[in-house]
């Protein structure tokens, strides 16, 4: 009985340590504030690429939405730099997802990916599609108001 109880406590300590590492692991901007070359939308198990024709102010408009999203903060960069990387954490366990958005002429290129695990169960795709839809809606409202 004692061994079973000790094993239970050790297992609990390992789970707490693992979750603590996930929550507190440092995010080096040099590792995450980057984007591979891509020219079209693509989905993969841990994230998405999106390429959207936004005009030259797309990153600024995207930044206004992303920087105010729940559980999201800026890791590195800004609209003036031409590229921004955001960290968005899951609500319960605090798993980090990274989104890098860059302006390339009239194109906004968005790269969202997870840090831990193999699959994000579509969370990055849903979040990025939502941010882009919100950006498009705000753009349509602004042009309708003129």
For residue 142, name the pLDDT band (cuts at 50, 70, 90). Answer: low
Q: Output the pLDDT for position 145.
A: 67
Mean pLDDT of all residues belonging to the chain: 90
For residue 121, name the pLDDT band (cuts at 50, 70, 90). Answer: confident
| Least confident piece of the model among 13-22, 44-53, 109-118 | 13-22
DSSP 59-100: HHHHHHHHTTSTTEEEEEEEGGGTEEEEEEE-TTT--EEEEE
Q: Output the pLDDT for position 82.
A: 95
Res 24 pLDDT > 80: no
Res 107 pLDDT > 90: yes
Q: What are phi and psi of 87, to 5 degrees?
A: -110, 125
Q: Output the pLDDT for position 120.
A: 86
Q: Output the pLDDT for position 136.
A: 87
Sign of the torsion angle spanned by Cα atoms 142, 143, 144, 146: positive
Q: Output the pLDDT for position 53.
A: 95
Average pLDDT over residues 105-126: 93
Res 74 pLDDT > 90: yes
pTM: 0.85
């Amino acid at each position: 009985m004692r061994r079973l109880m000790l094993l239970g406590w050790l297992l609990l300590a390992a789970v707490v340590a693992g979750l603590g590492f996930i929550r507190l692991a440092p995010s080096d901007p040099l590792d995450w504030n980057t984007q591979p070359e891509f020219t079209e939308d693509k989905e993969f198990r841990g994230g998405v690429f999106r390429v959207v024709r936004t005009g030259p102010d797309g990153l600024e408009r995207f930044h206004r939405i992303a920087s105010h999203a729940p559980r999201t903060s800026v890791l590195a960069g800004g609209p003036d730099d031409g590229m921004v990387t955001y960290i968005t954490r899951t609500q319960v366990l605090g798993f980090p997802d990274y989104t890098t958005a860059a302006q390339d002429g009239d194109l906004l290129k968005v790269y969202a990916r997870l840090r831990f695990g193999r699959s994000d169960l579509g969370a990055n795709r849903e979040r990025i599609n939502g941010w882009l839809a919100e950006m498009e809606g705000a753009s349509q409202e602004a042009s309708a108001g003129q």
